[in-house]
Amino acid sequence: MGKKKIWSFLLLMLVALSVVLAACASDDASESNTEKENEGTTEEDTGSTAAEDKVLVFGRGGDSVSLDPAAVTDGESFKVTQNVFETLLNFGKQDTTINEGLATKWEPSEDGLTYTFTLREGVKFHDGTDFNAEAVVKNFERWANGSEDKFPYYASMFGGFVGDESHVIESVTADGDYTVVFKLKRAQAPFLKNIAMSPFGIASPTAFEASGDKFGDNPVGTGPFKFVEWKRNDSVTVEKFADYWNVGYPKLDKIIFRAIPDNSTRLNSLLTNEIDLADGINPSDAATVEGDSNLQLFERPSMNVGYLGLTTTRPPFDNVKVRQAINYAIDKQSIVDAFFEGRAEIAKNPMPPSISGYNEDIPGYEYDPEKAKQLLAEAGLADGFEMELWAMPVPRPYMPDGAKVAEVIQKNLEDIGVKATIVSFEWATYLEKARNGEADAFMLGWTGDNGDADNFIYVLLDGDNIGSNNYTYYDNQDLHKILIAAQTEVDEDKRNELYKQAQEIIFEDAPWVPLAHSTPLLAGKADIVDFLPHPTGSDKLTNVDFK
């Protein structure tokens, strides 16, 4: 009986399997049939079906955190909101110059304390509300009366909230229907760039007053696409906004943002036609994409830095000689050649060369293990020491394969007598622990959000940002004074001079080993046109079309 049972069970499984296989086979067959039918019909027909429904499926590394751009700081969220919301000013197509957005004119006063914006007329929010000066004022009032939890980016860009002494914006007032006047407490050099950042997309006051905290689930802006639905951890769908002010745009009818965490899986989805555009292509896969006539490779202009942070409060990294030794020990050229496949520049400063104020004269630490050993000996650690080397568990635009780069660094350190154990955690835990200063040395990186030096050096290395984005706990008062002076300095040349000084101090103190400024890669179908990846990582897909 027992044997009979087993056999009948196996037979059942076999039948089930064959049913499944048969179903798959018939699927394939019907697909190929329809393809053939299409081929048989006239070209006009296929042309019209394509014109009827242009859907772009955009595969990306993670899901959105919220669809209210002001509530988040992560790049994945901005990828969607950039197309649903618009900001008063826009960045250039592939740079961070200031261009008109919802405002068509902007005039700073002589002293840099008053900015007058003239707004675009005839713009409507997706819910039918008119876009006007009052709407802009309401948006800024909403943010300014928020808290660090609700609107974190507002606080770091405009120095806090209403009532805070460091809050930069004194008032935002409407002057008639289409003029908004900003009054500042003190001059802020990157003010216009800040205004152009994705988090400050103007939302429909009717919608956010009605939905309150739930606004992030049902965003309403003026952008080219309006929100349709959000399946958590899977996809966000947006569709063409028919009343978009820029007549004739957007070209696409629908965009589906799909979250596919693994880089290789995402590329496979592209190869199997499940998606049309894939973010985060491994440098090692670039050749595959370039060799495929159905695909095209996009390079995102570089505006990032990948680095190894050395927690300056943890011995022996509290000794500047040890930090310099580590800098000399690491062979950046080999790392860039091997794991970025040459699609990166070796870093010597904490910000990329494309940003104004970059100090070209910094020599950088060349690869010199002997000098590293000598510095270790001077620090009294001639026999080396043991340390933890934290490697990020996920591929990032600035670091395609953290674990492998860590293995090269581990070997480099071994060569100077330092025994490093590679440690990794789940990404959120990794960030939290590193932020708490629990790592000896940790790999991390940063993609600029507004193309300003302040957004790199102050945010990542100033004592003010310990506990937020300064994970190394590096705190130098001279540097702090320079960075604060640079924030209020309106003269571009003087300001650049200050940032150059700042980079000299950072070079000497060596809180980081700057590794690389990478060129992140994307891949898409060959028939995608007018897709221009933006250096900030948030792409406006208004002009994108299929051939």
Partner 1 sequence: MTQMVPNSTNEIMVKKDTSTGPWLDAWRSFRKNKVALVGAGIVLFFLLLAILGPFIAPQGINDQSLKDRLLPPSSQYWFGTDDFGRDIFSRIIHGARISLWVGFSSVIGSVVVGSILGIIAGYYGKWIDTIISRIFDIMLAFPSILLAIAVVSVLGPSLQNALIAIAIINIPNFGRLIRSKVLSIKEEEYITSAKAIGMKDLRILFSHILPNSMAPVIVAGTLAIASAIIEAAALGFLGLGAQAPAPEWGKMLADARVVLRNAPWAMIFPGIAIMLTVLGFNLMGDGLRDALDPRMKN
Binding site for partner 1 (CB under 8 A): 263-264, 282, 284-285, 287-288, 331, 334-335, 337-339, 401, 403-404, 406-408, 410-411, 414, 421-422, 424
| Closer residue to partner 1 (CB): 103 or 270 | 270
| Closer residue to partner 1 (CB): 77 or 282 | 282
Give phi and psi for 462, each to the nearest 5. -90, 145
**Residue type at 323 in one-letter notation:** R
CB 445 to partner 1: min, Å: 18
| Closer residue to partner 1 (CB): 129 or 284 | 284
| Closer residue to partner 1 (CB): 50 or 287 | 287
CB 330 to partner 1: min, Å: 12
Pairing of strands 441-447, 386-390: parallel
CB 338 to partner 1: min, Å: 4
H and E: helices and strands count for the chain: 17, 21
HEC-encoded secondary structure of 340-386: CCCCEEECCCCCCCCCCCCCCCCCCCCCCHHHHHHHHHHCCCCCCCE
CB 337 to partner 1: min, Å: 7
| Closer residue to partner 1 (CB): 72 or 286 | 286
Rounded CA separation 190/351 (Å): 16
| Closer residue to partner 1 (CB): 301 or 417 | 417
> Any idea what the Cα angle at residue 508 is, between residues 503 and 514, rounded to 5°?
65
Contact, 90 vs 101, CB < 8 A?
yes
| Closer residue to partner 1 (CB): 101 or 520 | 520
Q: What token pair was written down for 434? A: 């590193």
Name every residue whose Cβ is closer than 8 Å to that of residue 74 and which is 6 or more positions away in sequence: 62, 65
| Closer residue to partner 1 (CB): 425 or 546 | 425
Contact, 303 vs 91, CB < 8 A?
no
CB 427 to partner 1: min, Å: 13
Rounded CA separation 416/412 (Å): 7
Which residues on adjacent β-strands are paired with residue 389?
A: 422, 441
| Closer residue to partner 1 (CB): 342 or 467 | 342
| Closer residue to partner 1 (CB): 208 or 339 | 339
CB 398 to partner 1: min, Å: 17
Name every residue whose Cβ is closer than 8 Å to that of residue 201 and which is 6 or more positions away in sequence: 69, 70, 81, 82, 84, 85, 86, 87, 221, 223
CB 372 to partner 1: min, Å: 17
Cis ω before 190 (30° cut-off from 0): no
| Closer residue to partner 1 (CB): 179 or 268 | 268
Rounded CA separation 219/66 (Å): 9
DSSP string of 7-42, one letter each residue:
HHHHHHHHHHHHHHHHHHHHHHHHHHHHHHHHHHS-
Contact, 529 vs 372, CB < 8 A?
no
DSSP string of 296-307, one letter each residue:
EEEEPPP-EEEE
CB 382 to partner 1: min, Å: 23
Instruction: Give the SS3 label for residue 449.
Output: coil
Closest by CA to 324, choosing from 374, 358, 362, 360, is 374
Residue with tokens 């400063």: 349
- Strand order from edge to edge, sheet including 344-346: 344-346, 512-518, 304-310, 441-447, 386-390, 419-423
CB 258 to partner 1: min, Å: 21
CB 411 to partner 1: min, Å: 5
| Closer residue to partner 1 (CB): 135 or 413 | 413
Rounded CA separation 478/520 (Å): 34
CB 282 to partner 1: min, Å: 6
CB 407 to partner 1: min, Å: 5
CB 523 to partner 1: min, Å: 13
Rounded CA separation 116/246 (Å): 23
CB 304 to partner 1: min, Å: 20
| Closer residue to partner 1 (CB): 269 or 324 | 269
| Closer residue to partner 1 (CB): 422 or 485 | 422
C-alpha distance from residue 92 to each of 164, 420, 524 (Å): 32, 43, 22
